[in-house]
Amino acid sequence: MEDKLQEFRSKMNKQRTALIGLVLVLGLAALFAPALTSAETSNSSEFNRKDVMFMNMMVVHHDQAIEMAELSENRTDNDHILELSENISKAQSRENEQMREWMQELGYETGNHHRMAGMATEEEMSRLENSNGSEFDQLFSELMIEHHRGGIQMAENFKGQGSHQELESMQKRMIEAQQKEIQKMQKWQQNWG
């Protein structure tokens, strides 16, 4: 009887030791998991949280710029505004398509609907919709300059915080393109007096 009790205790001690070992291994894995995850997300083909935040906000921001650009088709015959609007619509639609695709692959939907830097208010959008000719040109350039400045500010704020190389390249292109477009519109405004 004493031998069986001794054998039982020995078996229990082995199981306890194995269990403690397992708990230690799991604890160490949990401790080092954040380091492993951040090492993975620093890989240029992976997205981190900041990338997702940027895309979620920029898709909505671009949506409004595209909406503004598409209004010009029936409201002005100014070749400069029409060409710029077409460029904005094409470039930002392409960028949105890519960002939405990435978000979808990651299991996210774009759903950020609060007003961001540079975005026109509902009242401003309504004024733009109800304007024509030179009034539209002036209001469009005024609102789009402000919109672009907001977009540039957003891209600058996220610069260097993301981990996805292709998205970072897109951010740089956005900044460069929108700075050039702001300069064009400012020249037009000076010429309009």
Q: Tens of pLDDT along 25-37?
A: 344 444 444 433 4
- pLDDT at res. 93: 96
Report residue 116's pLDDT band, with 50, 70 and 90 as the boundaries: confident
The contacts of residue 27 (CB under 8 Å, 6+ apart) are none
Q: Give the pLDDT score at 92.
A: 95
Residue 111: per-residue pLDDT: 67
State how far the Cα of 122 lies from the Cα of 134, in Å rounded to an integer: 21
60 token code pair = 């909505």
Spatial separation of the C-alpha atoms in residues 172 and 165, rounded to whole Å: 11
170 closest CA partner among 115, 75, 95: 95
The model's pTM = 0.74
pLDDT-based confidence at residue 11 (cuts at 50, 70, 90): low
Query: Mind listing the pLDDT tens digit for each residue in 38-59?
Result: 433 334 568 999 999 999 989 9
| Residue 82 scores a pLDDT above 60 | yes
Spell out the CATH class of 45-192: mainly alpha
The tokens describing 126, both together, are 């309504």
pLDDT at 87 over 80: yes
Is residue 123 within 8 A of residue 178, CB to CB? The reply is no
Classify 106 as helix, strand or coil.
coil
pLDDT category at 8 given cuts 50, 70, 90 is low
Cα-Cα end-to-end distance for the chain: 107
% of the chain surpassing 90 pLDDT = 59
Mean pLDDT of 62-75: 94
Q: Which of 115, 93, 96 is nearest to 104 (CA)?
A: 96
Residue 83 binned pLDDT confidence (cut-offs 50, 70, 90): very high
Whether 24 shows a pLDDT value over 80: the answer reads: no
What is the DSSP code (8-state) at residue 43?
Answer: S
Average pLDDT of the chain is: 81
Domain spans of the chain, in order of start: 1-41, 45-192
